[in-house]
C-alpha cells in the first residue's frame, strides 16, 4: 500500500492494524529507546504506548540537542551575549535554557541583542546589516542541522564577512548511544534510530553499534504509523533471532546518506577530542569544532578569555541526566509539574520542544502518563 499523504501516516485504522499485529506477534520483553525527542513527542501525543502490549516499553534517550547541552556551554552563550557591540543569534529553544545564573531569555529582556532565528541562514543577513557589530551564531544540533552551519560558514567566507563568528555545539548520535550501552547498567535491548539525522548520515552509521552490543536499531520516521511499523520490525527481528540495523524510513533515508552534505561538514569541521553531555559526562569524539584554518571565525578562539572553563552541575533536584540515559522517566522527578514547568523550567528536558519532560507535561493526559 502506497502512503503518500500525511493523513495516511496518522490514520487510526492503519495504527490499529499495526497494533493488532504487534500484540499478536510480540513474544518477549522489548525495552526500546527512542533516541530522538521527536519520537518521544509522537509516542506521547498519539498515546502509542497505550495501544501496545506491556511487553513493549519505551525508554527516552539523549537525542534532543537542547537537552544535552551542559550549563557551561549555556554560560558561554551568556558571556558572549553580554559583551559590548555583540549580537548573539541561535535557535529558539536555546534562549530559554537556564545557565548557572541566568538565561538568554532574561538577558534579552534586560536589553541585550539576542535573536531567535527562524532560519539559520538569517544570520548572514544580520551580519551584513550590522557591520559595526560582532555577530555570533551559537550553532546547535545533531547531524541534521550541521550541514546548514557548514553552508553558512562557506557563505561567510565567500562574502568575506569579518564580523561573523561561530560557536559550534554540533554533536553526533552514535557516540552517546555507545556510551549509554557501555555504562553497564542499561536495560535497553532495542533502539528507534533518528530519521532526520539518518537522512544526512545514512543508517549504516548505526551498524557498528548493532554489531558491538548485539542490539537492533530501526531508523523510523516521526509519524505514528512510522513508529508502529518500526516496532513491528523490531518484534519480528526478536522472533527471528536477527539483530541488524534496518531502515523503516525508506522514503528519505539510504544506507550511505547525503554524501554531499557529509563532505561539506568535513570541509570546515572536525571531531573534538571530547565534549561534555548534560547528565552523561565527557564523551570522546562526540562533537564537532571548526578546523584550525578557520579559527578567525571561531568564537571559542576569538573570545577565549571571557568564556567559562569549569564544568557546572545541574540543580540537585533535576534528574535530566538520568532521563537522558534512559534510567528514569519524567514522572520519577520530584519537581516535575511542580517547581519545574515549561513556564519555569529547572532543567533542559522541560525547556526544549523535543524534551521528554515537556512531552510528558504537554501530553500526559493523552498517554495516561505524566502529571499525577
Residues 212-255 have pLDDT tens digits of 999 999 999 999 999 999 999 999 999 999 999 999 999 999 99
Q: Are residues 96 and 152 in the same domain?
A: yes
Say how far apart CA 150 and CA 141 lie, in whole Å: 12
| CB distance 35 to 206 below 8 Å | no
Helices (H), ranges, 215-258: 224-239
**What is the overall mean pLDDT for the chain?**
93
| CB distance 96 to 70 below 8 Å | no
Residue found by looking up cell 568564537 in the block = 299
How many domains does the chain fold into?
A: 3
Phi, psi (deg, nearest 5) at residue 334 = -65, -25
Q: Is the pLDDT of residue 366 over 50?
A: no
Q: Are residues 83 and 167 in the same domain?
A: yes
Residue 230 sits in a domain whose CATH number is 3.40.50.11750
Label residue 371 by pLDDT band (50, 70, 90). Answer: very low
Residue 160's contacts (CB-CB under 8 Å, 6 or more residues apart) are: none
User: Environment class of residue 185 by beta-carbon count within 10 Å: exposed (0-12), middle (13-18) or buried (19+)?
Assistant: exposed
Q: Are residues 219 and 286 in the same domain?
A: no
Query: What do you get for the CA distance between the two ends of the chain, in Å?
Result: 41
pTM: 0.92
Residue of 307, 265, 252 whose CA lies nearest to 172: 265
| CB distance 219 to 38 below 8 Å | no
Say how far apart CA 214 and CA 187 lie, in whole Å: 13
Q: Are residues 129 and 78 in the same domain?
A: yes
Q: Are residues 167 and 81 in the same domain?
A: yes
Q: Considering the domain boundaries, does residue 195 fall inside one?
A: yes
pLDDT for position 237: 98
Q: Is the pLDDT of residue 367 over 80?
A: no
Q: Is the pLDDT of residue 370 over 60?
A: no
Q: Are residues 86 and 168 in the same domain?
A: yes
pLDDT for position 81: 97
Q: Is the pLDDT of residue 174 over 70?
A: yes
Mean predicted confidence (pLDDT) in 320-331: 90
Residue 266's contacts (CB-CB under 8 Å, 6 or more residues apart) are: none
Query: Residue 360: which domain range?
Result: 320-367
Amino acid at each position: 500500500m502506497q502512503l503518500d499523504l500525511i493523513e495516511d501516516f496518522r490514520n487510526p485504522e492503519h495504527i490499529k492494524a499495526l497494533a493488532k499485529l504487534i500484540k499478536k506477534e510480540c513474544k518477549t520483553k522489548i525495552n526500546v529507546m527512542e533516541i530522538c525527542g521527536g519520537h518521544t513527542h509522537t509516542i506521547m501525543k498519539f498515546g502509542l504506548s497505550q495501544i501496545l502490549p506491556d511487553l513493549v516499553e519505551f525508554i527516552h534517550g539523549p537525542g534532543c540537542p537542547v537537552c544535552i547541552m551542559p550549563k557551561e556551554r549555556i554560560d558561554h552563550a551568556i558571556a558572549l551575549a553580554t559583551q559590548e557591540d555583540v549580537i548573539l543569534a541561535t535557535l529558539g529553544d536555546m534562549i530559554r535554557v537556564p545557565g548557572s545564573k541566568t538565561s538568554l531569555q532574561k538577558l534579552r529582556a534586560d536589553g541585550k541583542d539576542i535573536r531567535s532565528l527562524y532560519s539559520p541562514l538569517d544570520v548572514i543577513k544580520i551580519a551584513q546589516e550590522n557591520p559595526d557589530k560582532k555577530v555570533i551564531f551559537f550553532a546547535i544540533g545533531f547531524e541534521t542541522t550541521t550541514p546548514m552551519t557548514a553552508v553558512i560558514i562557506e557563505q561567510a567566507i565567500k562574502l568575506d564577512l569579518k564580523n561573523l563568528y561561530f560557536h559550534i555545539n554540533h554533536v553526533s548520535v552514535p557516540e552517546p548511544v555507545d556510551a549509554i550501552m557501555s555504562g553497564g547498567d542499561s536495560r535497553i535491548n532495542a533502539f528507534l534510530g533518528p530519521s532526520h539525522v539518518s537522512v544526512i548520515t545514512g543508517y549504516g552509521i548505526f551498524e557498528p553499534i548493532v554489531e558491538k552490543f548485539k542490539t537492533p536499531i530501526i531508523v523510523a520516521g516521526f509519524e505514528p504509523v512510522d513508529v508502529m511499523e518500526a516496532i513491528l520490525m523490531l518484534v519480528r527481528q526478536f522472533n527471528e533471532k536477527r539483530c541488524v540495523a534496518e531502515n523503516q524510513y525508506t522514503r528519505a533515508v539510504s544506507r550511505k546518506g547525503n554524501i554531499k552534505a557529509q563532505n561539506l561538514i568535513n570541509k570546515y569541521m572536525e571531531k573534538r577530542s571530547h565534549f561534555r553531555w548534560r547528565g552523561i559526562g565527557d564523551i570522546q569524539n562526540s562533537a564537532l569544532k571548526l578546523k584550525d584554518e578557520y579559527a578567525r571565525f571561531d568564537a571559542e578562539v576569538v573570545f577565549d578569555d571571557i568564556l567559562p572553563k569549569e564544568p557546572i552541575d545541574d540543580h540537585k533536584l533535576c534528574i535530566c541526566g538520568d532521563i537522558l540515559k534512559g534510567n528514569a522517566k519524567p514522572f520519577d522527578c520530584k519537581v516535575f509539574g511542580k517547581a519545574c514547568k515549561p513556564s519555569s523550567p529547572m532543567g533542559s528536558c522541560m525547556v526544549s520542544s523535543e524534551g521528554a519532560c515537556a512531552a510528558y507535561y504537554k501530553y500526559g493526559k493523552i498517554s495516561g502518563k505524566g502529571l499525577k
